[in-house]
Each structure stands twice: as structure tokens, then as C-alpha cells.
Structure 1
Amino acid sequence: MKPRRRGRDVAARAKASRPAKRTIARRGRADFQQTREALLESEKRFQSAFEYAAIGMTLVGPDGKFLKVNRALCKMLGYQESELLSKTFQEITHPEDLEEDCDYVRRMLTGEIRTYQMEKRYFRKDGRTVHVLLSVSLLRDSTGEPVHFISQIQDIHSRKEAERALRESEARFRALIEEAPIAIAVNRDEKRIYINQAWRRLFRIPEGWEVRGRPVLENWAPEWKDLIADYARRRAAGAPTPLEYEGVCRRHDGTQFPAWIAARWLRLADGPATVSFFRDLTKRKEAEKTIVEERERLMAILRGIGDAVIATDRDRRVIFLNPVAETLTGWRQEEAVGRSLPEVFRIAREKTGEACESLLDRALANGGSAAQSDPVILFARDGARRLIEDHAAPIRDREGRILGGILVFRDVTERRRMQEEMLRAHRLKSLGFLAGGIAHDFNNILTVIMGNTSLALAASALDERFRKYLEESEKACLRAKDLTDQLLTFSKGGAPVRKAAFLPDLVRESVKFALRGSSVGFRDEFPPGLWAAEVDVGQIARVFNNLALNSVQAMPNGGRITVSGQNIACESEVAPPAKKGRWIEVLFHDNGIGIPSEQIGSIFDPFFSTKSQGSGLGLAICHSIITRHGGRLFAESEPGKGTTIHLLLPAAEQPPSEAPPTPSAPVALRGRILVMDDEEGIRFAAKTMFLALGCETECAEDGAQAVALYREALDHGTPFRAVLMDLTVPGGMGGREAAREMLAVDPDVRIIASSGYSTDPVMIEPQRYGFRAVLAKPYTVADLARVCASVFDA
């Protein structure tokens, strides 16, 4: 029974295990399928990577035959795929590289090495060689037998060509450095690592002596070692150091020599280094010393010469100026060197003012010395003019060849001025004797006439007609007295009675008085702190008045007079005083027609005049007054550009007893009548009279300001009822021009013309010029009321 049961149990267990076995079989088949698919996918990826790799790839049989190649390799070698597959690697390998390559293959096949890498050359299809980096591994089967080689081939042809070019360049550079005529040394850590042959010769290094590794400082003079070591430390730290310098070096035999050194910081493949260039300066220093000694001797001679000296090369370019030439031309030596002579030494003929040729041109052309027959005008750099005498000669070498030229000149301006002053003084002295006698007798006669005339005018029962005759006679006598006063200026009776006075106020008062009725403007530019002068106030006022009148006559179409001043504590560069001391220089400048050069020396002569109605005494009187004050008076002028009169007066030792008057502050005016006048006093008077008439006023100094105020009032809706305008404004817009602009803005504007000159066309025909009425100066409040009433009613 038991055996049978065991059989039944076995059958039952077998039956029960059948499903499990079927499950295992199905799983085995599935795993195999997945593995097969994974292998196919992996092979596909390998094929894709192989085919499209950026570098060349190939499978090579153990016999060297190409089994598979990719596109990159075909492109690299210039073959079609089918062409390469018919070849072995041995066929296209350069013979010089084949033995090494085959040895690597043998060692891989025997199992000695598993991979290898080498640089080699292939022959392209077109016959050219290409450098490649070859990396090879060997694939074996399950039994260990070789299947094929897997090769990666990278094109390094460009790199190899660059390396070759670099080697050739390095060879050329080394040969160039080694044979260079200048001494070159390369240092690192303050030790020599290289020197060329020129350096060996310069420092007298014996044959066989090893310089490499020697300290740098042993080739420097003791007194230079600290500085050179400091340069090295600063250069290593990246601090700025001189790139080129001069020093004293020490040779191998102990001798020293001056040298020029240029040092540069280099970054070499094996670390940073310094390259230094050396040049022996012994001969140059000796030559320089000789030149300096000769130059110093020459400079000492030229500096001691009282004349001005300019030296040039053959091309007339300046190479030297001595101190006197620097003073006269206004050019410093360092500024003038290298410039052409005409740029530094500008001259013109004295009589005509025309530019003329330098004597040096004539001397260089003729090969001999040359001298001017007449003085010429030298124009300094700052525009100052000086009268000079000059002569020139060529500079020759030992063989007689012309190397350049030398120009010697001296300033004769003061000498000429003194000659003219002496001649003028002689004329004035003669005239003074004559004028003194005439004026004395003439004043006696005038005293009688004026005394009787004044007595007759004092009579109460005098007929008005005769009173008018006497008044006119008295006026004529006063004019005659003024003429005798001018004549007395030339005599001893005109000696100044001096006192301390401030000149700016005296100038302003005198010039403004002289400019009345003219269209000439005035501007003063006196600096603060101007010293007081020791002068006769009346006589100096006459000088300023005469100078202003003379400027007005030189500007018939209008212009401007500018007066300035300065303190001078030493001799003036332009016109030195007769003696040292404290002086005040006043400059009268106008922008008139100017004075021709041939006449400027005569303008202070008595009875000399370029005007048909001039007496010729105005400037002569000015000169006489200034001379009697111990001062100087002279003129500078250029036709078409104006004239400048220079006055030099002695400064007072003590200030005036009373402080100079200060101008009152301008009055602020407002109102509905607009008053335009350049005189503050008239504006104030008009304001006062208008206030008395019940009108408000607003004032303007010139036509431009009046127009602006009128437009502003219109814009704000508060127009002026009338405008009272002066016709003549020196240096500014007058009433006629302002009226035209106002009429353009407001055709109904009521403008009243006011002037002290009844002959003005506007005063005769006001309506023709757009004015409603006229008011002659001087006028009263009644006159003002009458004229304004007529304008308001209209």
C-alpha cells in the first residue's frame, strides 16, 4: 500500500508543478527578447556614434585591413569609403612612422599592451601628408582571439604646422638675439639666466666663464647697487619702475663705464623673467662733456653781450636766443628753438610799416655779413613794437661750409625817443618864450576889456539891447582868456601847483564833459587801489579833456574811449620813466582811425594837426603839462585800429586829505510816464517835475532799456501814457532808434523828443520820425506841462 501511495504523491506533485514551469519558460523567452532588443539598440547607437563622430574612427582587422571607416576619416584623408575599405593602414602610413605603429600592433596582439596612442602621418589621396593623433584598442572574442582594432584618429595637422613654425621662429629669434649688436641679458630672481655675445663683449667676459646663475648686482658699480635692487623689488611687486634709464656698470675686469639700460618684464613658459638691454655710453658722454664745456663758454660770452643774439641753422630755424633776445622778442629760448626765424623775429620798415626781409636771409644767400642802413620795427610776441638796429652773418665750419647764421640786434627805441624828446623840448622852449610874452601883454588888454564890461553890466539902468551886446563881449573875452591860458602852458608861468589827487574821478569828469553832444561812448577800467598822483588838478583835467576831444575827432562815426590805469613800482617795460620810483600809468585808448607811422612822431609838436580846423596846440599842451609834472607822454597807434596814449605821472607820497567822492546810488523810479536819458541828473529832475504834475514815472538809461520796459508794460496791460526820450546816448541806443522799435510794437505810442541840440533833424521835424512833440533842453516844469498836455489832448 505504501509504495503505491508514494507513486500517487509524485504524480500529484508533477501535475502541480506544470504551470510553474510554463511560467518560467515564458519569462525566459521575454528576457531574451528584451536583451536582444537592447543589444540591437546599443548597436544602433554605436553605429550612429561611429558614423557621425567629429573625429575619424575605423575598425581594422588584425592584418591591417580597414573593415569599417566613418565619414570624418574619409574627409580627413580625401578618400571615398569604398576606396579606404580596399586598403590597409600600412599602405597610407608615412614610412617614417610605420615601424613604430606596427610595433605597437604586434605588442597588442601578443597581449603585452591593451591600448596605445601615438602621433603619426597618413598620406592623403592627393599625396599630401596629414598629422594625426592615433588612439587604438583591441577587441577580442570570448576565446581571447583578436577580432579587430578600434581606432580613433584626430587631425592635429594645424597644431603640428604651428609647432613647426614656432620652432623655426624660435631658432631665428635665438640667432637674432645671439648675434644682435646690442647687449642683451635675461634675469630671473636677480640672477642671470641668459646673455648674448654682445653682452659678453661689452662686459669683457672671458671664454669659458659661466655667467648663468651669477647675481645681477655684480655687474653694477657699488653706488648703483641699492637703486638697481630697489628697481628689481618694485618691478617684481608690480609697482611702476623706469623702463629706460642711465647708470654706471662694472665689467668682469673691474672697470666701470656709463650705460643706457632698458628693462622689460617678460612671462616665459618656465616663469616670469626680466630682459635688459645695455648700450655703452662712454663715447657719447665724452662728446657731450666736450659739447657742454664749449657751449658753456659760448653761453658765457653771449650772455655777457649787451646786444640781442639769435642763431639759426641753414633752414633758418632758431637754435639759440640769448637773454637780451628773449626780452626783446618775447620768446623764451625753449619756446623759440625749432621755430622759423620769421615767426620769432618779425620786422617791418619804420616809415611804411611794411614787412621786410631779415638781414639773415641776405647774409645766407650772399655768404657774407649784412647790416641795415635804417632802423626797423621789431614786433614782440605780445604785440609790443621796438625800434632796432641789426646786422647778420653766416656761421661756417672749418671747411667753409655754411652751417647757419647769427643775427645781432639792439633796441634803439629809447635812444630815438630821447632824440625826439630833446628836439621837441627845444621847440617847446622856443615857443614858451614867445607865448609867455604874448600871453602877458594879451592878458593885460583882456583885463581892461573884461573889467569895464563887468562894470557896465552891473549898471541897473542899462538898456537891454546894450546889455546883450556886453554879455556877448564878456563871453568872447572868456574864450580869449582860455586861449591865453593855453599859451601860458608853454611859459614858466604855467608851472603846476601840485597836490595829491585821485585820477579816476578827474578822468571821468573831464572825459564826460568833453563827450557831450557826441556819439562816442566812454568806459573806465581803473583797478581798485590805484595810488593818488601828485598833480595840478586843473592842468591834468585839461590834459584829459584835450585827449578826449582828440579821440572824438578821430571817431567821426562814433566809437568808444576806454581809459585804464595801473600802479608801477619800477621801470615800465613799454616806456620806462626817467628815474625809478612810484608811478601811475594812465592809458587812453580809442578805436578811431589811428595815426600813420610817419606822423606819430610829430603829434605832440606845436601847431601840428591833421585836421583842417585844428589849432595844433591840444596835444602839444598835453605834452608840456605832463613834462612839467616830471612825467612821460607818448602814443602808440595803428591805422584802422585806433590809438593808445600813455601817461606816466609821479605818485603822491601821502593820500589826499579828503577821500574821493563816491557816486550816489541810482534812484529807483516807477510810474506811467517813461523817461529815457543817459544822464542820471536829468532823469531825477524829470521825475521830480512829473511828480509835481501828478504823474508817475519810470526811467531808462538808454533806448534798448526803454524799449524793453515799454514792451513789458504792454504785456502786463499797463501801457505808458507817454514817453520822453533823449535823442543822443553815447555808446548806446538813442531816441531815434528806440522810437522806431516802439512804433513797430505800438503804432499809437506817444513819444516826446528831448535834446539840447536844436539843429537835430528830429527837433525840427519830429512827426517825420514818429515823435508827437519836442521839448528842448533846458526846460522848466511849465514847459514840461505844456508839451505833455498837448500830447495827452491829441
Structure 2
Amino acid sequence: MVAVKRFSGRSLMYAFTVLTVIFWIGESVLEFFWFNPEGETFLTNLMPIHDPHEMFMRITSGSVLLACGYVVSRMYSILAESENQARESENNLRITFNSIGDAVVATDADGNVTFMNPVSEMLTGWSFVEAKGLAFKNVVNVLSSNSKGISDNPIDEVLRSGEGKGLSNHTILISKQGNKYHIADSIAPIRDENGKISGAVFVFKDISEKYRQDAEFSSLRNYLSNIIDSMPSILLGVNGDGQVTLWNRAAEQATGISPKSASGRNLFEIFPRMETEIDRIFESIRSKEISRNQRKIRYSESGVYYEDVTIFPLISDGAEGAVVRVDDVTELIKMEQAMIQNEKMMSVGALASGMAHEVNNPLAAISGHAQNISNRVFGDLKKNEDVAVECDVSLSKVREYLEKRGIPRMLDGIYSSCSHAAKVVSDMIMFSRKAESNQGRHSLVKLLDDTLGLAAIDYDLSHHYDFRKIEIVREYDSSVPDVYCEGSEIQQVFLNILKNGAQSMMGKEYHGAHPRFTLRVHAEEEMAVVEIEDNGQGMDEGVLKRIFEPFYSTKKVERRSGLGLSVSYFVITDQHNGSMEAYSVLGSWARFIIKLPSAVDM
């Protein structure tokens, strides 16, 4: 821009002085030529000292002219100085607006653009030359990222209300070229010296990068929160004063307290079972060392539980606190106990197998001798007659005597008992040999009856009650085909159900009735079905929902036995592609239904 040189006040004063001199000389010339009848010289007319009136008039006129020149020059000087100050202020303001990092757009009272700095030109895509005089809403196009709808013209509202405002969060600016920027902004009215609104100024800045970082941070925070909430362990965060800083979903489920309600509260007030860990938590925070308390026993109304409590101190600089992880290891402990029990059962099975010969040999001798006695006394053998004659006794009298004394019945009892004992030993040996495959076609009727025989001589059952006093009702369909299965495993399942049913009936008082098992075997489409029903105590809905959970039991620890219904369920469903269901009415009955594919379909 080329600077225009302006007159100063002093120059105007000089001009008025010259004008005064010209006026004086001009009047002298006029007097010399037109008003000089006496023929005075030009010098006399230039300085009319001889004429006081004329001299006074000239001096007065010149003084007035010089006074006017002084006033005009002074006023011009003041006006020029004010203009220079205003121009300098405007220039400084323009430099300031052009230098700041925020975008600035100013409008007049009608909402038309009057100023834009370079940052606003870059973000809006409009140059000031293009935008000057245009409506603000045509130059600055903003919308809310939440609604994706164009917002109202914010300038109009500020001009109308006269109050500054900030636009809603997540505001998006759309440039002339269609580029989108997330902006933070504010609008304020411009007032003149009289307080009247003369326009508005819109100040905003590009926060797209910050918005992206905040979105990434929020996404990461949600991701970590989901990880923490998805963990089955209880995770608790505390600061140095024991106040809660972290509370995951497992903690909420264990206490019924939401993370929002737990935040900032004392851990030991809202989670009383952590009171026993107070000293360990603060010691871990102080020492910055991890602390572990494994297999901690916790008693509750629903039973005994085992927990691993691990305390992780915060080790970053300036952070004071700890994260407490509580893991329920009850099922792990029970599984270990079950494995130990299984090892014991395997040892018992091996011992039973080793003892079989020791037991069977005497049984065979007793049975054989009893049979020989019966043959040598009551048998129709010639040798018996010869020995009787030789001993001079009547064989018929001897037989009559022994029959009257019940000896034949006793011999039959010895033989029958030996046969039964041999079968029991044989069944026990077969049952204990789980490692040997017994896969093949089996009759469910035979497997079920054989299992009844095992249940009748089971020690634990006999120890608590007499299984023989339980009525057995058989409803067998003889047309049911065989199934292809592991016989010993299916027997194990049957035995476990029979044990549970017998123990349930043992704890029930019968008035006019008695314990009873109802066993059903029938076909259903392409499946062979076994139903085992007892009229014991039954189960409620809560027990039925958990009946097949690993190691779940309503019995006391010392009375738990067998594989458990969870393993039975696994044997039927996973190993034999069948199904196993339980139904019950509390206080009346319980029924287990087992379905296995028939061998015809295998």
C-alpha cells in the first residue's frame, strides 16, 4: 500500500499566513490604483501609517484571518492525530488478529462479514475479499456432530439476545470445499461507546486432532473397561487411603454395589470380607511388593469357598495405591480333591482285583465241598450205598435224620451264598477295571439290573440304610434295542443316580408310604430311554438349574461320593451322544431321564 502524505496543522497555519500577506498586499494594490486621488506612492499604501483607520482595519482583518488559520490548523491537527491513532489501532488490531492461532470472523449488526483473519480464511475456505459483505451463515457453516443436522445461525441469536455464547460440544465446521473440522468456539456481541450492538465476533479453533485423540482415548478406555469387566476375577482398585478407584462387574455381582456407587468409598465398608486383608493391602502399597494369600477359606450360607487374594501395588511414579484380585478357586480345589479321591478309588479297584483270587479260591472250596457233601449224602450214587453197608448204617435213616435237622437246606444256603459272593466279587472287579474297554452292544435292562445288584451291597448305602427295604418297580419294554456304549461307564451313571435317590429317600419321613424306585426302559423314536424315579425329598428350581454343574452338591462333604452328576452328564452327552435331563417336584419325587442312540443306528 502506498502511503498518502497529508497536510499537517502547521502547513495550514503557514498557508493562512501567506493568505494574510496576500490579502494585505492585494488591498494595498487596490488602494494604490483605485483609491489614490492624492497620488500617494505604493509604499505609502502598503504601510498606511499616516491613516490610522486604514491601518487598524488592515491589522484587524489580518489578525482575524490569522486567528481563523490557527483554529483551522489546530482542529486539523487534532483530527489528523485522531485519525492516525485510529488507523494505528486498527492496524495493530488487524496484526493481532492475524497473528493469533484462533480463527476470528467479525460481522456488522446485520450479520454480514466485516473481518476475517488468515486462520478463519484457511478453515472456512473463503478469502476475506470473497466473504466481505456476505451473510455469516453463508460463509461459516457449522453443524452438530451428534445430530448431523445444520445448526441455527449462532450470530443471529447473539445479535438478537446481546449475550455471548459457546456452541454445543462436538461442533463441526464444513468449509467451502467440503472439508470438515471439529471446532471449539464462542461468540460475543460487539458494542459501540454507547453500548449499542454494532456487530458480533466469532472466535473458533481447529480441535480435530484433539477430538481424534479423545475418541481414541475413549475407545481405549472402553476397551480396557470391557476387558476388566469380562474377567471372572473380582478386581478392586484402592488408593493410599483405602478408597475405591476401580470396581469391575464381578465386584458388582459379588456385592450388589455399582461401580458408580463404590467409587471413592472406603473399600472395607462396602466389601466387609476384605477387612482381613487391610494390613496386607497397606503393607503392599508401602513396600511396593506383590502379596498373595492363596486358598483362603470363606464361609457363607451357601457353603464353603476357597479364594486366592493377590495384591498388586501401583509402581509408577506419583501413584499410590493397589489393585486387588480375588479369584474363586473352589472348583479347582474340589477338582483336586476329586482327583485324589479318584486315585484312591483306582487303588481300591487294583486292591480288589488283587484280592479276587484270594477270595475266589476259598469260595470255590466252600462251594465245592458243600456240593460234594450234598452229593455224598443225598446223591443217588452206588458209592454211597457201599459205604453205608460197610459202616453198618442205614443210608435212608441218615438222610431222614439230616433232612429233619435241615442240613439239605443249609447246604443249599452255603452253595447259594458262595455263588452270590462270587458274583459280587466278579461284578466289583469288572466295575473297577475302567481302563479296560467295555465298549460294545449292551442291554440297558441288564445294565440297570446289574447296577441294582451293586447298589444293594454298596457299603456307604448299607451303612446308612438297608437298600433292600426300598421297593423296586420295573417297567421294562422288552422290545427296546441294545445300545452301543461303554457298559461300566453307563453303570457308573446309573449307580450315581441310584445313590442320590436312595440318600434323598433316607432323609424323608413317610406316612403310610415307603421308599420306592420306579425304573423304566422304553424306546422313543431312534433312542433308547431309561427313567430312574424316586419318591424322595425332590429338588427345588434352584437345585435343578445347577444339578449338572461340576461338583455341585446339596449333601454334606462326608456323604459325597461317586463321579457326581456333572461327570455323569458328560459321560452321557459327550461320550455317548445322548441326553440327560432332570425333573422334580420338591417334597414328592425326582426323575432322571437318559436317552442313548440305539445300536441299530450306530
- TM exceeds 0.5? no
The structure with the largest helix share of the pair is: 2
TM-score range relative to shorter protein:
0.3 to 0.5
Q: Normalised by the size of structure 1, how large is the TM-score?
A: 0.32
Q: Which has the higher contact order (CA 8 A, sep 6+)?
A: 2
Q: TM-score, normalised by structure 2?
A: 0.40
